[in-house]
Structure 1
Amino acid sequence: MTTALITGATAGIGAAFARRLAADGHDLVLVARDAERLRDQATELHDRHGVEAEVLRADLATDEGIEAVAARLGNRRRPVDLLVNNAGFGNRGRYLEVPLADELTMLKVHCEAVLRLTSAGTEAMRERGRGGVVNVASVAAFLPRGTYGASKAWVVQFTQGVARDLAGSGVRLMALCPGFVRTEFHERAGMGTDNIPGWMWLDADKVVATGLTDLSRGRTVSVPDPRYKALMGLAKLAPRQLLGGVTSTTGRKYGPQ
């Protein structure tokens, strides 16, 4: 039986990945900061689907947390076949309104942790000649939206570059780039959502289903909805200021995890 490790596993897209992969018969390693919530989730998935669900409490804003997850990914006796780098957060406010420490923490979680965990996971996967990595980014990667968008643009470029370098190794990599997803993310970040049109909201389970299909097809970037694919097509033609303004009404986050 294969094993998937998911960061940010207790909510939003991470929880949707856990549900889908457990339903498909994969054992799980669930990573998040809230130990009690992790244990409850692991018990529910085990009881419902009969899979093993390991709990790993880790804060990816710290070196210790990243090292703990990297060590689990590098464990050759208990290999991880699929890594889902989903952990992330948003900051409310424009540039210079957000404390610099919070911006640096975002880069730690969105960039450094993704780099180090992808490296640990793919090294072990390449040795076995198989495996997959999904790095959850956002359509914000294609829009001019400050540190959040810049960090997600890095995730997309990094993922595509590694996928090219590991071509032929049996290891697949993909950046998943959703738009607004119905999760608890905006509430936790203190962002309002009343002014976001209903058509822009996506369902987390559908995002995951499309993402896994795209991964199996060998795609390195997945924008999991026709509406957002069309919007990103328009982004190439429309003034960047126009599309950038779409995200300003909800702070710094576009496409929550």
Structure 2
Amino acid sequence: MTHFVLVAGAWLGAWAWDGTAAELRASGHAVRPLTLTGLAEKQGAAAGQRTHVRDIVDTVEQGDLRDVVLVGHSYAGVPVGQAAERIGDRLRRVVFVDSGVPVDGASFLAGWPSDWVLEAIEAGDGWWPPPPADEFAGQGLTDEQISRLLAGATPHPGASLTEPAELTRSLAGLPATYVKCLLDGEEPMGAVADLLACERWELVRMDTGHWPMFSAPRELARVLHEAALRE
């Protein structure tokens, strides 16, 4: 049985996967949505990126999960990518959903204009507050979906965004799917584009925005199901 471990991006917890998780379970998969330390029901606990990598690895190892598909959305692609190389032959595939990927020695914020994020973290006493509703415009979300997203969102631990990633080998060797959400830009950038040139990486495009677990949960579940079937 395939075990999906689902990790949402900044401000979100396990609850964000409810719709997609239900669809995957209906297809016969085991699903473990994961809340990272400092978010949702774990809010307020200090956490850096290494803490989040450990959250993911512990979920797999303590649950003795096999045939694992790790799924990382947005920020979570960075700790998920690091966890993927640490769980060895338990890994079936890693799926990055419109996310960053870890680059050894670089933080999540490296490589894009992020001074405004650092300012927000400083103003938030070390936490990155959720954005206002108008920041979600143009991402294929209904007003109801935006309201639900923001109702559950919690400030994100800033240290996890600035702590550098640690990799022992290239991600090129991982069996990986990258899901590009087209309303958030049509082409993957930087490190992602380089990895997609590798033999074991594939690109899947979704005609929706950056939060497909809200805007297109059934379609996202189908993409994840199909990714799990890849050899």
Higher helix proportion: 1
Give the TM-score of the pair, scaled to structure 2: 0.44
Larger Rg: 1
